[in-house]
């Protein structure tokens, strides 16, 4: 695994810990966790597509985050059973909220900003 991927993987782990911690501290607004969730998505997409441009990674990340949120409008019994598990709730959420969509945008933008600072260049577009 390349050095760049290790950096991104380390960032993913830090963001996951921060996101989980944000849900345990009462005075931290819920949108902070949603923003960190979108940042985690950005970093995971970056990990998978390390050579793609940061713009493409951002678009994929935002599309994925929005798709997960809109999927919460689907309330079939089988998917709700999945959502009622800890991993299902953390990954898929439970209920659609327009505010979550708004929280994902700064999360992805933060990912772009961090990515640009860490790697200091646009990755080759493929």
pTM given for the model: 0.89
The per-residue pLDDT for range 13-49, each reduced to its tens digit, is 999 999 999 999 999 999 999 999 999 999 999 999 9
CB–CB of 58/111 below 8 Å?
A: yes
CB–CB of 42/22 below 8 Å?
A: no
Q: How far apart are CA 86 and CA 83, in angstroms?
A: 7
The per-residue pLDDT for range 90-101, each reduced to its tens digit, is 899 989 999 999
3 state SS of 64: helix
């Amino acid at each position: 695994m390349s050095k760049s991927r290790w950096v991104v993987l380390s960032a993913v782990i830090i963001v996951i810990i921060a996101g989980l911690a944000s849900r345990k501290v009462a005075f931290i607004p819920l949108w902070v966790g949603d923003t960190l969730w979108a940042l985690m998505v950005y970093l995971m997409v970056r990990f998978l597509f390390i050579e793609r441009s940061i713009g493409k990674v951002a678009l994929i990340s935002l599309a994925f985050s929005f798709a997960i949120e809109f999927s919460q409008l689907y309330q079939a019994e089988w998917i709700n059973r999945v959502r009622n598990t800890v991993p299902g709730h953390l990954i898929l959420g439970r209920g659609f909220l327009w505010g979550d969509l708004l929280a994902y945008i700064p999360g992805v933008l933060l990912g772009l900003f961090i990515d640009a600072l860490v790697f200091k260049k646009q990755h080759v577009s493929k």
